[in-house]
Amino acid sequence: MLSPSLFATIDLGTGKIGVDGKTEKLIVLHGGVGPFLEGAGLYLHNNYFKDSTRSGLFYTFDCGADIITTYIPNSDDSDDGVDPSTYYLPILAGGIGYSKQIGNNSYFRFSIKLAIVIHLNLSFSITF
């Protein structure tokens, strides 16, 4: 998944499709950088579909944790001029999306989630 935002991330995950074919559960490792920060985390990603084709509208939910380091320029006379700070942040996000099958076990998905901030995720998924 690629998230086009001020904090661009790259996600790598693995998971399984539920027995009924209507759910996807993945564990995802992700990391990214922004203008004044960098971070990484691990989260559980769940998608819930109305039928086993996994196409059309779906609900999505994420739960996990991030470690983020910020690099804010300071005004004192230190050598590097930056005050790094590390934060541990929970990931709790939920939203809706749309899934379009584009091939055998291949989907194009768009979702919007509400968390601490609103962000958009565009993803291309290959499930096997």
For 108-127, the pLDDT digits (tens) are: 888 888 886 444 444 545 55
pLDDT at residue number 24: 94
Exposed, middle or buried by CB within 10 Å (0-12, 13-18, 19+), for 15? middle
Percent of the chain scoring above 70 in pLDDT: 77
pTM as predicted: 0.73
Residue 60, domain member (yes or no): yes
Domain count, the chain: 1
Residue 63, domain member (yes or no): yes
Residue 108, domain member (yes or no): yes
Residue 11, domain member (yes or no): yes
Q: What is the mean pLDDT of the chain?
A: 81
Whether the per-residue pLDDT at 67 is higher than 90: the answer is no
Residue 10, domain member (yes or no): yes
What span, in angstroms and rounded, lies between the C-alpha atoms of 83 and 89? 19
Residue 128, domain member (yes or no): no
Residue 7, domain member (yes or no): yes
Helical spans, DSSP H, in 24-123:
none
**What is the domain-level CATH number for residue 29?**
2.40.160
Residue 62, domain member (yes or no): yes
Give the domain extent around 66: 2-123
